[in-house]
C-alpha cells in the first residue's frame, strides 16, 4: 500500500544550509580519503548531495515549457557500491498532443586519489547511449569511467518537457544514505501546483513570491520580454538514512522519501481559470472518451456468434461466466504488456489470439455483456507501479473486469493462465482499484482478498526402532495458495521439482508422487501426495528417541529477524495453514514426554496459533493451526509479529521423547 502524506511544513530554512557550498567539481582530498560513511558504516556508497531545480522557459509556438535539472555527487566506499557508476534515466515520448521529452547528461566525471593527488576522468561520448524501452518511454544511460572503491562520481542531467501537468517525482531517499538534498522550484504565478510528500522524512520548506521574466523571439524574429511574479520554493534536508531492503515489502518505492508536484489550476491573464483538480468521475469520463478505451469496449459484433455457440442451452449466469472466462483465458495469449488502453484493438487481438492486458480483458467484458451479465472495467495499479491515492488517470497501468451476479461482485483477469474468478495475479492485489462506468460514475474496489487461502496437510508417519521415519503426505491447497503453487511449478520438470522438495524437507526420499488439478480444473483445490522415508529427522541418545512433533515441517528460522522495521509487512493475502499429523511410535517404546499444547492470539486477532498434541497407546496425534487474518501489518505491529513467530518456533522445536521399555 502506498502511503502518501500530503503536508505543508511551515519551517524557516536555516541560513546555514543555504550558505554551504554544494557544487560539482569541488572534490577534496579528505572526501576521497574517507573510508566509510560516519553515520552508516555499512553503506556501500553515499550520495554526498543531490540537487535539483525546476524552472520554466517560454517560446511563441508552444508557450511555457518546463526544465528539470539534477546534479549528483556520490562517494563509493565498497565494491557493492560500484553499481552506482551505471546511471539510467527514463523519459516519456508517448505524447499525442505535445512533443516528446528530451534528456541530456553533462558534467559526468570520476575522481580518484592517485599518489596523493586528485585525478579527474571525464566521461567521453562512448560511455553514453540511448535506447527505446517501448513506444511510450526512452532511456538514456551513462557508465562513469575509471570507477574504483574510494572514488567519487558526479553527473548532471536536464529533462526538458512540454508536460507542465505532472512533474517527475523528486526522490530524496535511496538504498544508500543521502547526506544532503535540495530542490528549488521557480513557478510562474499562472500555475498552481499541489505538493505531496511521501515517506516519513521531515524536510524543511521555504516559499516566497519573487519577480520572474522570460525572454523569447516573437513572430517577427525580434527579442521580446515579459515579466511576472513567480512562486519560488526551496526544499531541503540532511542525513537521510538508507531505506534498507526488507522481506515482505510490496514495493519499496511506496515508502521512500519523495516529493511530487501536480498541477491544480491555471490562471492565465485575460482567460478563464482552468481547473486541473480532478474527481474520480472526471477521470472515468476522460478515460472512456479515449478511442482506445470506450470505443474498444463498444466493439462486440464479432463476438456474437462465438457467445451463442458457447452458451447454447446454458441459463445459469455463474455457469455462463465460468464458460466465457475459460474460453477467453484459453484462446487469448498475453503479450506481457500492461495497459488499460488497447494497442492494436480488440478485433485484431481476437483474430491473432494475442493482446495486451486491456485487449484481453475488454474481450472478456464484451462477451460477458453479450451473455447478459452486468460487468464493468476496473482500473488497477500493479504492485510495481505504486498506488494512486488522488484522482489521476496516469497512476494506473492495468485493467481487470468486475462482474456482478445476484448482488455478489466477482473480479476477473483472463490474461494469466492460472487465474480463476476472484483469483487475480499476485501483483494486482494492490490496495484498491477504481471501477468506472461509461456514464462517468465510479467506485473504489478492494483488491486485497479478505477470505483465507487454505493449505491443509495430512501426514501419516511411522517411526522405526532405528529412528527412521516412513509415511505419506497429502496436501490440499485452495485459492491463492493453489494459484501461487501453479505459477511456480506448473511449468517445472517433475524430477527437478522433487529434487528441490527433498532438499527443502531435509534430504528425505520421496516416492509415489502425484499432483492433481495443477494445469486443469483450476477452480478445484490442488492436491499433492507422496510417500517418504527420512533417515535424519530423529535423534537417538541411549535408550531414547527424540522427535520433532512437526517432523520436517518444523519452523526453525524466524522470517522477521530485523531489530527494527522501516516499512509495513505485506503478506499478499490471508492464510490458514493446518497440519494434522498421526504418528505411530515403534514397538518396544513408550512415550516419556510430550510437548506442551499452546494457543496464542496476537495483533488484534491478526494472527492466531494453536498447537495441540494427544497420545493413546502407541499413537500420537498432533494438530497445528496457524491463521494469518491480515494481509498487511503496520510498522508498529512488527514487534508483536516478530514475537509470535518466535514463540511458534519455540513451540515447534520442543521434542517428543520416546523411551525404550
pLDDT band of residue 388 (cuts 50, 70, 90) is confident
CATH code at position 343: 3.10.620.30
25 and 169 in a single domain? The answer is yes
410 and 552 in a single domain? The answer is no
Alpha-carbon distance of 637 to 634, in angstroms, equals: 5
CATH code at position 127: 2.60.40.3140
Examine the fold and report which residue of 258, 275, 292 is the final residue of a domain before the chain moves on. Answer: 275
Percentage of the chain surpassing pLDDT 90? 82
Tell whether the model's pLDDT for residue 605 goes beyond 90.
no
Q: Which domain, by its residues, includes 108? A: 4-275
Q: How many helices (H) and strands (E) does the chain have?
A: 11, 37
Examine the fold and report which residue of 403, 418, 446 is the final residue of a domain before the chain moves on. Answer: 446
174 and 303 in a single domain? The answer is no
What's the pLDDT at 7? 34
Average pLDDT of 62-77?
A: 96
384 and 530 in a single domain? The answer is no
pLDDT band of residue 444 (cuts 50, 70, 90) is very high
Tell whether the model's pLDDT for residue 369 goes beyond 90.
yes
Report the candidate in 559, 325, 576 with the shortest Cα–Cα distance to residue 450.
Answer: 576
Q: Which strands, in side-by-side order, build the sheet including 86-92? A: 86-92, 137-143, 128-132
What's the pLDDT at 20? 56
Q: From residue 498, how far is each of 383, 487, 525, 530 by CA, in Å?
A: 31, 16, 20, 10
pLDDT band of residue 5 (cuts 50, 70, 90) is very low
Examine the fold and report which residue of 226, 256, 275 is the final residue of a domain before the chain moves on. Answer: 275
Q: Which of 49-63, 86-100, 441-455 is predicted with the least confidence, judged by mean pLDDT? A: 86-100
- The cell for 488 is 511456480
pLDDT band of residue 281 (cuts 50, 70, 90) is confident
Q: Which is higher by pLDDT, 128 or 290?
A: 290
65 and 207 in a single domain? The answer is yes
634 and 524 in a single domain? The answer is yes
What's the pLDDT at 463? 98
110 and 196 in a single domain? The answer is yes
Alpha-carbon distance of 532 to 509, in angstroms, equals: 5
What's the pLDDT at 196? 87
Which range has highest mean pLDDT (11-25, 248-262, 405-419)? 405-419
268 and 284 in a single domain? The answer is no
352 and 459 in a single domain? The answer is no
pLDDT, tens digit (0-9, with 9 covering 90-100), for 93-133: 988 788 999 999 999 999 999 999 999 999 987 778 888 88
Percentage of the chain surpassing pLDDT 70? 97
Report the candidate in 464, 651, 657, 473 with the shortest Cα–Cα distance to residue 554.
Answer: 651
pLDDT, tens digit (0-9, with 9 covering 90-100), for 189-233: 999 998 889 998 999 999 999 999 999 998 888 899 999 999 999
Dihedrals phi, psi of 547, to nearest 5 degrees: -130, 135
Q: What count of residues does the chain have?
A: 661
Report the candidate in 371, 346, 348, 372 with the shortest Cα–Cα distance to residue 360.
Answer: 346
CATH code at position 481: 2.60.120.1130
Average pLDDT of 255-259?
A: 93
244 and 287 in a single domain? The answer is no
Q: Which is higher by pLDDT, 61 or 370?
A: 370
Q: What is the CA radius of gyration of the chain?
A: 31
Q: Which of 16-25, 58-67, 356-365, 638-647 is predicted with the least confidence, judged by mean pLDDT? A: 16-25
pLDDT band of residue 3 (cuts 50, 70, 90) is very low
Q: Which of 207-221, 236-250, 274-288 is predicted with the least confidence, judged by mean pLDDT? A: 274-288
pLDDT, tens digit (0-9, with 9 covering 90-100), for 542-578: 999 999 999 999 999 999 988 999 999 999 999 999 9
465 and 603 in a single domain? The answer is yes
247 and 366 in a single domain? The answer is no
Tell whether the model's pLDDT for residue 8 goes beyond 60.
no
What's the pLDDT at 95? 84
CB 651 within 8 A of CB 595: yes
**Per residue, what are the HEC states of 558-596?**
CCCCCCCCCCCEECCCCEEEEEEEEEECCCCEEEEECCC
Query: What secondary structure does DSSP assign to 23-50, as a single string?
Result: -TT---HHHHH--SBTTBTT-SEEEEEE
pLDDT band of residue 10 (cuts 50, 70, 90) is very low
Number of domains in the chain: 3
- The cell for 159 is 529533462
pLDDT band of residue 1 (cuts 50, 70, 90) is very low
Average pLDDT of 21-49?
A: 95
Pairing mode of beta strands 569-570, 632-633: antiparallel
Tell whether the model's pLDDT for residue 14 goes beyond 70.
no
Amino acid at each position: 500500500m502506498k502511503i502518501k502524506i500530503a503536508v505543508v511544513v511551515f519551517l524557516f530554512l536555516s541560513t546555514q544550509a543555504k550558505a554551504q557550498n554544494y557544487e560539482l567539481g569541488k572534490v577534496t582530498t579528505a572526501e576521497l580519503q574517507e573510508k566509510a560513511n560516519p553515520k552508516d558504516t555499512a553503506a556501500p556508497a553515499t550520495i554526498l548531495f543531490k540537487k535539483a531545480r525546476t524552472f520554466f522557459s517560454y517560446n511563441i509556438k508552444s508557450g511555457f515549457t518546463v526544465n528539470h535539472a539534477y546534479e549528483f555527487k556520490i562517494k563509493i566506499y565498497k565494491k557493492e557500491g560500484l553499481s552506482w557508476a551505471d546511471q539510467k534515466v527514463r523519459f516519456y515520448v508517448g505524447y499525442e498532443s505535445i512533443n516528446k521529452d528530451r534528456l541530456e547528461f553533462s558534467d559526468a566525471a570520476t575522481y580518484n586519489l592517485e599518489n596523493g593527488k586528485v585525478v579527474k576522468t571525464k566521461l567521453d561520448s562512448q560511455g553514453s547511449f540511448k535506447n527505446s524501452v517501448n513506444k511510450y518511454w526512452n532511456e538514456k544511460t551513462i557508465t562513469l569511467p575509471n570507477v574504483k572503491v574510494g572514488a567519487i562520481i558526479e553527473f548532471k542531467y536536464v529533462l526538458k518537457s512540454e508536460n507542465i501537468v505532472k512533474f517527475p517525482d523528486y526522490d530524496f531517499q535511496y538504498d544508500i544514505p543521502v547526506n544532503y538534498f535540495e530542490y528549488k522550484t521557480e513557478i510562474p504565478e499562472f500555475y498552481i501546483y499541489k505538493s505531496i510528500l511521501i515517506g516519513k522524512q521531515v524536510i524543511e520548506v521555504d516559499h516566497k513570491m519573487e519577480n520572474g521574466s522570460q525572454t523569447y523571439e516573437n513572430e517577427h524574429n525580434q527579442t521580446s520580454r515579459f515579466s511576472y511574479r513567480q512562486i519560488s520554493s526551496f526544499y531541503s534536508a540532511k542525513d537521510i538514512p538508507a531505506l534498507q531492503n526488507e522481506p515482505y515489502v510490496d514495493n519499496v518505492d511506496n515508502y521512500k522519501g519523495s516529493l511530487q508536484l501536480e498541477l491544480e489550476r491555471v490562471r492565465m491573464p485575460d482567460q478563464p481559470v482552468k481547473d486541473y483538480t480532478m474527481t474520480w468521475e472526471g477521470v472515468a469520463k476522460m478515460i472512456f472518451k479515449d478511442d482506445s478505451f470506450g470505443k474498444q469496449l463498444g466493439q462486440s459484433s464479432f463476438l456474437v456468434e462465438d457467445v451463442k455457440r458457447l452458451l447454447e442451452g446454458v441459463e445459469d449466469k455463474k455457469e455462463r461466466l465460468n464458460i466465457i472466462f475459460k474460453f477467453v483465458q484459453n484462446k487469448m495469449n498475453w503479450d506481457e504488456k500492461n495497459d488499460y488502453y488497447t494497442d492494436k484493438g480488440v478485433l485484431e487481438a481476437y483474430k491473432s489470439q494475442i493482446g495486451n492486458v486491456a485487449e484481453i480483458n475488454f474481450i472478456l467484458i464484451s462477451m460477458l455483456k453479450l451473455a447478459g451479465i452486468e460487468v464493468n472495467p476496473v482500473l488497477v495499479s500493479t504492485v510495481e507501479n505504486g498506488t494512486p491515492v488522488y484522482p489521476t488517470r496516469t497512476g494506473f497501468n492495468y485493467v481487470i473486469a468486475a462482474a456482478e451476479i445476484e448482488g455478489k461482485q466477482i473480479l476477473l483477469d483472463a490474461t494469466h493462465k492460472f487465474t480463476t474468478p476472484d483469483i487475480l495475479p499476485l501483483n494486482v492485489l494492490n490496495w484498491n482499484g477504481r471501477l468506472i462506468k461509461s456514464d462517468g460514475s465510479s467506485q473504489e474496489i478492494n483488491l486485497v482478498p479478505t477470505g483465507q487461502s487454505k493449505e491443509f496437510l495430512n501426514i501419516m508417519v511411522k517411526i522405526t526402532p532405528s529412528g527412521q521415519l516412513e509415511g505419506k503426505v497429502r496436501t490440499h491447497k485452495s485459492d491463492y495458495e493453489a494459484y501461487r503453487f501453479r505459477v511456480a511449478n506448473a511449468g517445472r520438470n517433475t524430477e527437478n521439482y522433487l529434487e528441490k522438495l527433498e532438499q527443502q524437507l531435509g534430504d528425505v526420499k520421496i516416492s509415489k508422487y502425484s499432483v492433481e488439478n495443477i494445469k486443469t480444473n483450476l477452480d478445484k483445490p490442488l492436491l499433492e501426495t507422496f510417500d517418504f522415508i527420512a533417515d535424519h529427522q530423529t535423534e537417538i541418545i541411549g535408550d531414547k528417541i527424540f522427535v520433532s512433533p512437526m517432523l520436517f515441517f518444523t519452523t526453525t528460522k524466524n522470517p522477521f529477524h530485523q531489530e527494527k522495521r522501516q516499512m509495513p509487512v505485506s503478506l499478499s493475502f490471508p492464510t490458514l495453514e493446518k497440519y494434522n499429523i498421526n504418528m505411530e511410535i515403534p514397538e518396544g517404546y513408550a512415550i516419556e514426554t510430550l510437548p506442551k499444547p499452546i494457543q496464542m492470539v496476537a495483533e488484534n486477532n491478526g494472527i492466531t496459533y494453536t498447537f495441540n498434541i494427544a497420545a493413546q497407546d502407541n499413537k500420537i496425534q498432533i494438530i497445528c493451526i496457524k491463521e494469518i487474518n491480515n494481509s498487511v501489518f503496520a510498522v508498529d505491529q512488527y514487534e508483536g509479529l516478530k514475537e509470535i513467530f518466535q514463540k511458534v518456533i519455540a513451540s515447534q522445536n520442543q521434542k517428543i521423547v520416546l523411551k525404550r521399555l
